Amino acid sequence: MTRGPLPAEAIRKAMRAAEERGPVLERDFATRIRLAFIIFVAGLTIFVKVRRARHHLMDPEECAAEFRTDVMELRRIPLTDVTARELWLLSPWGTWQYFRVHDDRLVEIRSTGTPLLQEGGRIPVTSPGETAPPVSPV
């Protein structure tokens, strides 16, 4: 006996009910954005896309411009207190660069997920669940 097609109407109704509870990521959408993988850390789910870069190092603005489509696809994933979106870049020299994708900007992070300090000593938004380190007057 075959299982038959998916119950499309039941899925639509279930999605509407689920949207009342919060943001929903559709199964078909997840396959369209072609995530490399999802990392499950205590209290955090990280959606990761991996790309090859042509340059050795990029700042967040260059990354956003060069990988615009990937950034826009990641931004379609609902961002909550327990989700994060990251873009990992591999250079031709075998070095990695990591970016956390927020709704309005990209923040360069370490491989562990902790943010790097940006030019001018600006402290970027912290990861979900973290608190920003105190800023000492200079």
- The model's pLDDT over 104-136, given as tens digits with 9 standing for 90+, comes to 999 999 988 889 875 554 444 444 444 444 443
Closest among 63, 66, 118 to 86, alpha carbons compared: 63
Closest among 121, 43, 119, 128 to 86, alpha carbons compared: 128
pLDDT tier at 137, thresholds 50, 70, 90: very low
pLDDT in tens, 1-53: 456 666 677 777 777 877 887 777 776 766 777 788 888 888 888 999 999 98
pLDDT in tens, 62-96: 999 999 999 999 999 999 999 999 999 998 888 89
Burial class (CB in 10 A: 0-12, 13-18, 19+), 88: middle
Residue 70 has which token pair? 């990937």
What's 5's DSSP letter?
Answer: S
Residue 102 contacts residue 79 (beta carbons within 8 Å):
yes
pLDDT, residue 33, reads 73
Q: For residue 86, how many other CB atoms are within 10 A of its CB?
A: 20
pLDDT, residue 42, reads 85
pLDDT, residue 126, reads 44
Q: Where are the domains of the chain?
A: 26-121
Name the pTM for this structure: 0.70
pLDDT, residue 107, reads 94
